[in-house]
Amino acid sequence: MKPTPGDYLTPALYAFGLIIAGVIIRYIRILRPITKPAFRLLNVGILWVMLPTVVFVSIARYNLNQILGFGNAAVFAFMGLGVCFVLAVGLSTLMHYDRKTAIAVTLNSSFMNVTYLGLPMVYALVGIGGLGPASLYAVSIGIPHLVLGVILASSATKRRVSPRFVLENVLVFPATIALITALLFVGFHAHLWDVARNTFDIYLAKPFFALMLLFVGYQMPLVNPRKYLSKLATVGAIRFLVCPLVVLALIGMTGLSVATDISPKPSLIQAMMPPAVFNFFLAYNFKLDLKLYGAMVFYLTLFSLFVALPLMIHFVF
């Protein structure tokens, strides 16, 4: 059955409400002594507890044949990432952007918010069944994001980062550990206990994703977009046109059906996500232009929720 605008409106408003709540909390000065350490702890909880739990349960609930069936989500992720990365570098060169601006455009065009926003939106629009391919897509983006993100951000400030440092950060990334553990779990034909699966489905999924969306809002600075219109247009075109079209073309080439197969809808939703909040963290840690990164994350998140995703759902789903 084809989704209607009403089917999308409720989860979109739900996501938007939580994001705006996070933005408002960020700017209430009287609460900062409480909210700042609280959201720092929330970030630790998301990275080390919530995200690994989502990835593990979403993969371990399937058998090996089922995972191989939606393993094409990883291929869609890598191909979309590759095309967007090359195109962003090429456009930045043609537009004669300086090194820092070119890196900002490349990072935000190539790496989207597949975890904090993408997984909650897949859960809201597709349900628990879509989290397997969505998690595979997310980790397939997350690992290159860690590697290339650190390398590019450090090159913007001309700081040297050793291959060992990058490798160690990838190997100890909690979601990577959870994915490897889940694949070993499935590979040895272990069975995910019903009580674990049901506890996640009934009690944990909704609060986990709500907290992720709240955290997205808290990390978004409000910035006047006028100064960055050309960069926003460039990143927006790659994020919301090129990446989904690449994934849609691959779905057609593999003979999959958006309506009936398990991986196309989660993959398309993930492909339509705005720039990742992690890009803003990189900008903060490497002392890059926080206003530029903040504008890309904030305004393209709004565009994704209320323009790009509804159009894709109406014309493709």
Its domain, for residue 248, covers 5-315
The C-alpha atoms of residue 268 and residue 138 are separated, in whole angstroms, by 12
Q: What is the pTM of this model?
A: 0.85
pLDDT in tens, 46-85: 889 998 898 898 888 888 888 888 889 999 999 999 999 9
Q: Are 149 and 279 in contact (CB under 8 A)?
A: yes
Q: What is the mean pLDDT of the chain?
A: 88
pLDDT in tens, 133-180: 999 999 899 888 878 888 888 888 776 767 776 666 666 678 778 878
| The pLDDT value given to residue 7 | 62
What is the count of structural domains for the chain? 1
Asked if the model's pLDDT at residue 16 lies above 90, the reply is: no
Q: Are 109 and 85 in contact (CB under 8 A)?
A: yes
Q: Are 139 and 176 in contact (CB under 8 A)?
A: yes
Asked if the model's pLDDT at residue 42 lies above 70, the reply is: yes
CATH number of the structural domain spanning residue 300: 1.20.1530
Asked if the model's pLDDT at residue 93 lies above 60, the reply is: yes
Percent share of the chain, pLDDT over 90: 46
pLDDT in tens, 196-215: 989 988 899 889 989 988 98
The C-alpha atoms of residue 272 and residue 105 are separated, in whole angstroms, by 17
The C-alpha atoms of residue 309 and residue 19 are separated, in whole angstroms, by 16
Q: Which of 13-17, 66-70, 199-203, 247-251 has the highest mean pLDDT?
A: 247-251
Q: Which one-letter amino acid corresponds to residue 73? A: A
Q: Are 269 and 125 in contact (CB under 8 A)?
A: yes
